[in-house]
Structure 1
Amino acid sequence: MDVRAALGELIFARVAGEEGSGRRDRIHGTPGPRRFSSDSAIWRVHGDASMFVGGIRALLLQSLHPLAMAAVDQHSGFRGDPWGRLNRTSAFLAETTFATTADADRAIDVVRSVHAHIDGVAPDGRAYRADDPDLLRWVHVAEVDSFLRAHDRYGRSPLPPQGRDDYVAQTAVIGRALGACDVPTCVAELDEAIEAFRPELASTAAARRTTRYLLVHPPVPWTLRGPYSTLAAAAVGLLPRWSRWPLRVPWLPVTEATLVRGAATATTRTIRWAMAPSSVGSPPR
C-alpha cells in the first residue's frame, strides 16, 4: 500500500470505525433512488475535507445552548467514547447525504427513536427532551452554519451564492425529518436563526469543560495531535466573536488570518489528497 492509500485508510478508520468499510460499500454501492444527486450542494459540502473543521466548530457552538449541552453532557458519553460518537455521527451524515432514500430514512428513524428516550434536568433546573423541536432546531442550525462556513473557508471550491442557499435548503430536508421546527431554507434565514438563538445561549461549566476537552485535552493519540490542533484552531477561528468569551477561547485575528489559515489549508488539502476516491473509495472531494 502506498503512502497516500495508507494515510487515507488511517483517517477513514478513525472517522468511520471498524464497520466503516462495510458501511461505505453499502452506502455508495446499493442501487436505488437517492434524495440528493451527486452534483448537489450537500454532496459537495459533506464530501469535503473541510468537514473536519466544521465538525469541531459545530460541537463548540452547540455547547453554548444550556439545554443542548446538558443533554450531551448527561447522555452522550462523548468523553468516555469520543471515537464511537464520531463514528456514529459520520455514519449518520454519510447515510442521510449519500445513501439511498430508504437507507437514509432508516438512519433518521433510528436517531428519532433514540431521541424519544432522552430527557433530564439541566443544572439550571430546566427540564429538557432531546426530541424538543426547538432544541433540534438549534443543533441543526449550528451544524449547518458550521459546515457551510468551514467549506467557504477550507473547501476545495466554495459554493456560489445560489449553491450556498441550495445547501441550506437541502439540509433542511434532514432537519425537518429529524423533528426540528422552522428550519432555515436559505442563508439569510440561517443567519437570522443563529441571531435569534443568542439570548438563549450562555457560558456553562459543561460548555467550558467541553471546550477544554476539544481544544486542550483532545481525544487523539500524540501522533495526530499536530494535525488535530491545526483543525481545532481553524474551527475556533471560524467562531463568531460573541461566542469567544463564553467559551473562554481567545480572539487573535491576525494569527487566525495568517498562520492558522495557512496551516489549516495545508492540512485539509492533505486529508483531501489522502482520502481521494482512488485510495479509500469515498465520494468525490
Structure 2
Amino acid sequence: MTAHDPGLFGPRSVTWQLHADPVMWIAGVRALYLQALHPRAVRGVFQNSAAFQMSRRGRQDAWGRLMRTAHFVGTLTYGTTEAAEQAGAAVRGIHRRLTATDPDSGERYGVDEPELLLWVHCAEVDSYLHVLRRSGYPVGDAQADAYLHEQRESARLVGLDPAEVPGSRAALAAYFARVRPELALTPEAREVDAFLRRPPTPAVLVPARALFWRQVAQLAYGALPAYAQELYGRPVRPAAVTRRLRATGRLLRAIPPTVRWQLPPRHILRAVERLGPDARPAPYKLRRSAAILDGQDGTQGEPRG
C-alpha cells in the first residue's frame, strides 16, 4: 500500500520543507556551475550526454535534462518509497553503462566511480543549502546539519555508501577542502559556463531568456564560493549577491504555494493529495523541527534519516 506512504523523508523532515522553496531552481543552476569544475565529472557528462553536443536539437535537450533532474529530486523527496527506490535504481543502471576517457592519460573510467558520484552529490546539497539560507530561508545550524544527514538517503539511491557521505556542515566543509586542488577550468567547464549564461532557446523564448534566465544564471553564479568564481575568472561582490538573493526569495515566496505547485513536475501536490493537508511543506514548520533538534520538547535532538 502506498496511499499513506510518507516516502524516504516524510513531512516532518527538514528536506520536505526545504525542497519546496522556489529558490531551489537558482540553487540547482549553482550546482551545475560547481559540478562543472571537476574535470573527470564534467568530461563524463560531455562524453555521454546529448545536452552539450553541437547540434541545435542536442543542445536544446539540456532543458529536458534540467527538468529530468528536477523530477528526480522531486520523486526522492515527495514520492512514495517505492517510487524513490525505482528512480534510484534507474539512475544507477544508467550510470553503470557509461564511461568516459581522460584526454591526457587515455584512461577510461566509469562515471559511477564513488568519487565522482560524491562530488555531484556534495555540490548539489551544498548549493541547495547555501542558496536557501543566503536568500533568507529560516534554516538554523542544527537544521542544516539535519538536512545533510537526511540527504545521505539520496546519496544511497545513486550508489554511494551513506557512511562515506558528509552528514554535517563540518564534514562537508572538510570534503570541499580536500577536493579543491582537483578542480580546474577545463574547456568543458568553459562550455558549461557559456551555455548557462546564454542557453539556446526557441526564437519565441529569447525575450524571456533575456528577462528571466539571465537573472537566474547571474544569481546562481554569484552564489558560488569565491574559489569557484576565481577559477571561472569573474569574481563578484558577495554583499550585492546576498541582497539580490534575499529580494528574489521574498518575491518568489510571495507567489501562493498552490500556484507554484501547479507547475511541473507537481510532486508536492501529489504528496499532499496522498497524505492530506497536514503534509503541506512550509517554512514555519521548521520551528518545530528546531525544537526537536535542540531537545526543547523533551526529546533527543537526533536527526532522522
State TM-score, norm by structure 2. Answer: 0.76
1:30 offset after TM fit, Å? Answer: 4.9
Output the amino acid matched with 2:29: I
1:278 offset after TM fit, Å? Answer: 4.8
For 1:124-139, what aligned pairs fall within 5 Å after superposition? 124=104, 125-139=106-120
For 1:61-76, what aligned pairs fall within 5 Å after superposition? 61-76=34-49
User: Could you tell me how far apart the structure 2 residues matched to 1:272 and 1:238 are?
Assistant: 19
Output the amino acid matched with 2:8: R
Alignment check: 8 A CA contact 2:23 2:252 kept: no
1:267 offset after TM fit, Å? Answer: 3.5
> For 2:50, what is the secondary structure of its paired residue?
coil
For 1:16-95, what aligned pairs fall within 5 Å after superposition? 30-79=3-52, 80=59, 81-95=61-75
> For 2:10, what is the secondary structure of its paired residue?
coil
| Residue in 1 that maps onto 2:252 | 271
Segments of 5+ residues of structure 2 without an aligned counterpart are 53-58, 269-280, 283-305
Q: CA RMSD in A?
A: 2.1
Match of 1:164 among 135, 141, 144: 144
1:221 aligns with 2:206: yes
1:32 offset after TM fit, Å? Answer: 2.1
User: Could you tell me how far apart the structure 1 residues matched to 2:226 and 2:200 are?
Assistant: 23
| Residue in 1 that maps onto 2:225 | 240
1:275 offset after TM fit, Å? Answer: 6.0
User: Could you tell me how far apart the structure 2 residues matched to 1:275 and 1:218 are?
Assistant: 30
User: Could you tell me how far apart the structure 2 residues matched to 1:235 and 1:252 are?
Assistant: 12
Number of equivalenced pairs? 252
1:245 offset after TM fit, Å? Answer: 2.9
| Residue in 2 that maps onto 1:115 | 95
1:49 offset after TM fit, Å? Answer: 1.2
1:126 offset after TM fit, Å? Answer: 3.3
Segments of 5+ residues of structure 1 without an aligned counterpart are 1-28
Q: Indicate the structure (1 or 2) with the bigger Cα radius of gyration.
A: 2
1:131 offset after TM fit, Å? Answer: 1.2
Output the amino acid matched with 1:240: P
1:149 aligns with 2:130: yes
CA spacing shift, 1:225–1:162, aligned 2, 3 Å:
same
Output the amino acid matched with 1:205: P
User: Could you tell me how far apart the structure 2 residues matched to 1:92 and 1:151 are?
Assistant: 19
1:75 offset after TM fit, Å? Answer: 1.2
User: Could you tell me how far apart the structure 1 residues matched to 2:207 and 2:134 are?
Assistant: 27
User: Could you tell me how far apart the structure 2 residues matched to 1:160 and 1:263 are?
Assistant: 21
| Residue in 2 that maps onto 1:199 | 181
| Residue in 2 that maps onto 1:209 | 191
Alignment check: 8 A CA contact 1:231 1:267 kept: no
1:272 offset after TM fit, Å? Answer: 3.4
State TM-score, norm by structure 1. Answer: 0.81
> For 1:120, what is the secondary structure of its paired residue?
strand
CA spacing shift, 1:273–1:218, aligned 2, 3 Å:
farther
Mean Cα displacement is larger for which, 164-173 or 211-220? 211-220
User: Could you tell me how far apart the structure 2 residues matched to 1:191 and 1:38 are?
Assistant: 28
Alignment check: 8 A CA contact 1:134 1:180 kept: no
Output the amino acid matched with 1:188: A
Output the amino acid matched with 1:67: R
